[in-house]
Structure 1
Amino acid sequence: MQIINSKCLNDVDPVVVVDDSVIDLTITKRVYARSKLKNPLVTFPSGAAFLEYMEAAQMGTSPVPAMVLMDINMPSMNGFETISELRKVSDFTEIPIIVMLTNSDSEQDLEKSLQVGANGFQTKDFDIERYTEFFNSLAAD
């Protein structure tokens, strides 16, 4: 299930992926490179690293993401906690975030994602064509 207005993407601001899995990030980078999206792709291995980046973005030393794709199941600070922290900053209440899960399409995870401030919910798809289609669906026409 996807709940997002993808037309907010431009070709300049980065699309950010936060995921602790090196394998998942490698797959995401390869699929992203095949997609129609022209935005730079920036990745972070943890919620804490992403929040540090967002502090720099708030100070104007790093670009604000056009979109954030967030894994939920991460050690230390999970995706729910990371999004909750990000949404506390008034400058970042409008950044579109899709929460991505490894294998879960749980209704509870969807509801919690929306409660913490995510704009959508998408399960990870390791079928390369479907995953590429997902990224292509985010591209502005």
Structure 2
Amino acid sequence: MQLVQNKCLNANDPVVVVDDSVIDLTITKRVYARSELKNPLLTFTSGGAFLKHMEAVQNGVEPVPALVLMDINMPELNGFETIRELRSVSDFSKIPVIVMLTNSDSDQDLERSLEVGANGFQTKDFDIARYTEFFNSLAAE
């Protein structure tokens, strides 16, 4: 299976979700399991934990993510700061797709997301059918 955004991805590459809300992550896991995506799902509750994982990726211990969904509003290291830090590492300047996942539909948040290196912006949608469709839209045709 390949993701539409980057057809050279290995089906074994994980989809990563970074969100400090345990409730949001629980919903995401359930929706993801119902979706057509078969990539492994990894979740992190902080930008710092995600960046630590990415050190293992850089060292070749873990595979490069196929997709990263990053919450914007997190304590300590928010989504913007996490993406900026990730993109500052040359090995990660071209991670296939990074989408900011947020409750905000602010044009300012969209612009800032793109400025720090996100490839897209998606508001959180906890209507189960629409959220499942979002994941299905990422599956290979």
CA RMSD of aligned residues (A): 1.2
Task: Check if 1:46 corresponds to 2:58.
Answer: no
Show structure 1 runs of 5+ residues with no match. Answer: none
**1:16 match:** 16
Offset at residue 16 of structure 1 (A): 0.1
Local SS of the residue matching 1:61: coil
TM-score of the two chains, using structure 1 as the length reference: 0.94
1:45-86, CA deviations, whole angstroms, 9 ceiling, x for partnerless residues? 000000000001000011110110000000000000000000
The 5-angstrom pairing of residues 124-135 of structure 1 reads 124-135=124-135
Local SS of the residue matching 2:137: helix
In structure 2, how many angstroms separate the alpha carbons of the residues matched to 1:128 and 1:8?
29
Task: Check if 1:98 corresponds to 2:99.
Answer: yes
In structure 2, how many angstroms separate the alpha carbons of the residues matched to 1:72 and 1:64?
21
**1:86 match:** 86
Local SS of the residue matching 1:29: helix
Identity of aligned residues (%): 76
Offset at residue 6 of structure 1 (A): 5.5
**1:113 match:** 113
Structure 2: which amino acid aligns with 1:98? V
Show structure 2 runs of 5+ residues with no match. Answer: none
Number of aligned residues = 137
In structure 2, how many angstroms separate the alpha carbons of the residues matched to 1:121 and 1:6?
17
> Structure 1 pair 56/27, CA: closer, same or farther in 2 (3 Å)?
same
Offset at residue 140 of structure 1 (A): 1.2
Structure 1: which amino acid aligns with 2:99? I
Offset at residue 5 of structure 1 (A): 2.3
